[in-house]
């Protein structure tokens, strides 16, 4: 079993839809969870960063961590065509010390106008 | 404030050759990490450098090696290239805050 599993999609939604992206992970010791966005031919950029369980909101984006089920989610409200990108979940394997990130495969999202 | 810059952006090599990829870290960042991203996959951690010393390594063979310089810029060297080394190589720099890696746009390597 891989340490982080993510459905690669692709996922296509109409503009304005609510998008739900998900990952599962295997090691219950993980504490630091991230979502990165990667546009085509670009490097990933950090979207959301969460420590332990709970929700974190930033504008149209909400990150959710459920440690009991080892499940992390990213919700995008009022999705826009500019949100079309690949979304990567990531877990910090160094206990938060800016180290080895374990990435999911990424989910490719397309938001249609 | 300049971001992370990588060079070259694209290159083509043949099997058995050697390649050096370069990275300039973001201003104020003293840690550089390298990742390999194969097509359709998430990035995979190769290694990290902190103050010119290797500070962690992923599951990559010794023919992947690196350097960090006093100005915190870095190089990734790959010897004896194999077809499976074809990928996007990403450099990321970071400061003290956990997990916040700032990535460059990558160097796309094709091995024929």
Task: Pick the residue from chain A with its C-alpha nearest to B99.
Answer: A98
Task: Confirm or reject contact between A70 and chain B (CB < 8 A).
Answer: no
What is the average pLDDT across A65-77?
Answer: 94
Which chain B residues are within 8 Å of A8, Cβ to Cβ?
Answer: 40
pLDDT digits (tens, 9 = 90+) for A3-52: 899 988 899 999 999 999 999 999 888 888 999 999 998 999 999 988 88
What was the pLDDT predicted at A99? 65
What was the pLDDT predicted at A95? 58
Of B7, B9, B11, B6, which is closest to residue B112 (Cα–Cα)? B11
Enumerate the β-bridge partners of residue A55: A64
- B56 contacts A100? CB cut-off 8 A: yes
- Decide: B109 and B85 in contact? Cβ < 8 Å: yes
| Parallel/antiparallel/unpaired status of strands B64-68 and B53-57 | unpaired
Task: Pick the residue from chain A with its C-alpha nearest to B108.
Answer: A41
pLDDT at A112 over 60: yes
What was the pLDDT predicted at A1? 62
pLDDT at A98 over 70: no
Residues in chain B where the model's pLDDT stays below 70: 1-2, 96-99
User: How many Å apart are CA B65 and CA B3, to the nearest integer?
Assistant: 23
Percent with pLDDT over 90 in chain A:
73
Q: Which of B31, B100, B103 sits opposite A43 (nearest CB)?
A: B103
Percent with pLDDT over 70 in chain A:
94
What was the pLDDT predicted at B4? 94
Q: Which of A43, A90, A102 sits opposite B105 (nearest CB)?
A: A43
Residue B5: Cβ-neighbour burial (10 angstroms; 0-12, 13-18, 19+): middle
What rounded mean pLDDT belongs to chain A? 91
What was the pLDDT predicted at A15? 98
CB count in 10 Å sphere of residue A67: 16
pLDDT at A93 over 80: no
């Amino acid at each position: 079993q891989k340490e982080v599993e993510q459905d690669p999609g692709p996922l296509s939604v109409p503009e304005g839809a609510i998008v739900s992206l998900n990952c599962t992970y295997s090691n219950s010791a993980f504490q630091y969870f991230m979502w990165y966005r990667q546009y085509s031919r670009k490097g990933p950029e950090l979207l959301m960063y969460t420590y332990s369980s709970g929700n974190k909101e930033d504008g149209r984006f909400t990150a959710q961590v459920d440690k009991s089920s080892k499940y992390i989610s990213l919700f995008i409200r009022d999705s826009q065509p500019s949100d079309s990108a690949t979304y990567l979940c990531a877990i910090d394997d160094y206990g938060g010390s800016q180290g080895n990130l374990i990435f999911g495969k990424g989910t490719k999202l397309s938001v249609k106008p | 404030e300049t971001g992370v810059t990588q060079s070259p952006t694209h290159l083509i090599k043949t099997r058995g050759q050697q390649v050096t990829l370069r990275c300039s870290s973001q201003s104020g960042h003293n840690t550089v990490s390298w990742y390999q991203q194969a097509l359709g996959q998430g990035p995979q951690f190769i290694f990290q450098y902190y103050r010119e010393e290797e500070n962690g390594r992923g599951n990559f063979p010794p023919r992947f090696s690196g350097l960090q310089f006093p100005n915190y810029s870095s190089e990734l060297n790959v010897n004896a290239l194999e077809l499976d080394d074809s990928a996007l190589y990403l450099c990321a720099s970071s400061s003290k805050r956990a997990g916040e890696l700032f990535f460059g746009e990558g160097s796309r390597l094709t091995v024929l």
